[in-house]
């Protein structure tokens, strides 16, 4: 009997003693974000395709580079800088636009999709809280996509610079470096612009996420029709358009608060190249619209967490 008892394995008295260590090692939020990337490859594939398509078009346009350079030689230095910066700015704008569209449709399907395919039953069986799940989904449009926009845009712009420099040298028109755009300065402005965009559009993404967790079907219509109905009601009842202007400002009004788009002489600045001196971060951070939008975004996230706690499959 003594020999048999000594051969028994020594189980820990408290089966939950090692649980905190295991949970800290698995990092639920990190792996939840990884799951979103694994299950939604369009998050990074769509911006990559946008950058690749733009590079293809820019490569074809290099056939006309020598002629354009001779034409630009007659312009003043500031106009030359604008002409050189224009295609690089367009590359960043295209990638950012595609990422914005991806973020909208991802947010609309983030919580609705797992209810539709009933996978919510499996994910709720795991030791991952509803808060962690919702935060991981919100981090895609608020963190992952902005980071991808910056990295892909910078990569595309540097590839464009290498190709244009080689094409210019081979054309025999002259040396490429005097014609180089202010690329480093543009990338600093790009990083600032990406941060501005994500902060300004945060309530849009979080509203879509909330609707995704609430709607049983047609999540896009439930997300879009209420604001349209409120705006139409205001026009009919009060003959004003304050709500519509507020919605338009939420989508496109970030530039006026984050940049000084008029120089000291009152001349408008071309948006293709905004100098560092024209950035206005303090004014942007002091905007009431920014903080009201972030407060609305936080409320939407909190409501989405509560909804997921009680919502089941559709």
Tokens 């992952």 found at:
144
Using one digit for the tens of pLDDT, what is the confidence trace for 198-256? 999 999 999 999 999 998 888 899 999 999 999 999 999 998 999 999 999 998 888 88
β-sheet bridge partners, residue 262 = 268
Q: pTM for the whole thing?
A: 0.85
The domains of the chain are located at 42-310
pLDDT at 4: 46
Cα angle 173-81-179, degrees, rounded to a multiple of 5: 25
Using one digit for the tens of pLDDT, what is the confidence trace for 100-128? 999 999 999 998 888 888 888 887 788 88
Determine whether 3 is exposed, middle or buried from the number of CB atoms within 10 Å of its CB (0-12, 13-18, 19+).
Answer: exposed
- Taking the CA of residue 279 as centre, how many other CA atoms within 13 Å lie in the half-sphere pointing to its CB? 16
Q: Residue 167 CB: number of other CB atoms within 10 A?
A: 18
Tokens 């202007």 found at:
245
Q: At what angle do helices 288-310 and 183-214 cross, to 10 degrees?
A: 40
State yes or no: pLDDT of 81 exceeds 90: no
């Amino acid at each position: 009997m003594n020999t048999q008892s000594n051969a028994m394995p020594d189980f820990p008295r408290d089966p939950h003693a090692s649980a905190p260590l295991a949970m800290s090692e698995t990092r639920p939020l990190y792996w939840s974000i990884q799951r979103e990337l694994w299950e939604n490859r369009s998050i990074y594939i769509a911006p990559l395709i946008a950058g690749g398509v733009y590079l293809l078009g820019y490569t074809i346009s290099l056939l006309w580079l020598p002629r354009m350079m001779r034409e630009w030689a007659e312009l003043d230095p500031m106009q030359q800088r604008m002409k050189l910066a224009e295609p690089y700015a367009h590359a960043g704008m295209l990638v950012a636009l595609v990422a914005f569209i991806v973020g909208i449709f991802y947010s609309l399907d983030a919580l609705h999709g797992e209810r539709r395919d009933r996978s919510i039953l499996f994910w709720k069986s795991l030791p991952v809280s509803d808060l962690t799940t919702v935060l991981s989904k919100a981090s895609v449009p608020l963190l992952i996509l902005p980071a991808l926009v910056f990295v892909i845009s910078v990569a595309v712009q540097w590839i464009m610079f290498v190709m244009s420099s080689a094409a210019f040298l081979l054309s025999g028109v002259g040396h490429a470096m005097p014609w180089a755009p202010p690329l480093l300065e543009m990338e600093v402005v790009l990083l600032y612009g990406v941060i501005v965009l994500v902060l300004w559009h945060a309530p849009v993404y979080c509203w879509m996420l909330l609707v995704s967790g609430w709607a049983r079907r047609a999540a896009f219509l439930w997300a879009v029709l209420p604001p349209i109905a409120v705006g139409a009601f205001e026009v009919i009842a009060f003959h004003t358009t304050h709500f519509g202007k507020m919605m338009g400002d939420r989508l496109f009004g970030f530039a006026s608060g984050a940049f000084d788009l008029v120089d000291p002489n009152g001349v408008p600045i071309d948006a293709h190249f905004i100098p560092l001196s024209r950035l206005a971060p303090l004014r942007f951070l002091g905007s009431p619209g920014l903080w009201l939008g972030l407060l609305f975004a936080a409320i939407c996230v909190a409501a989405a967490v509560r909804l997921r706690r009680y919502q089941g499959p559709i």
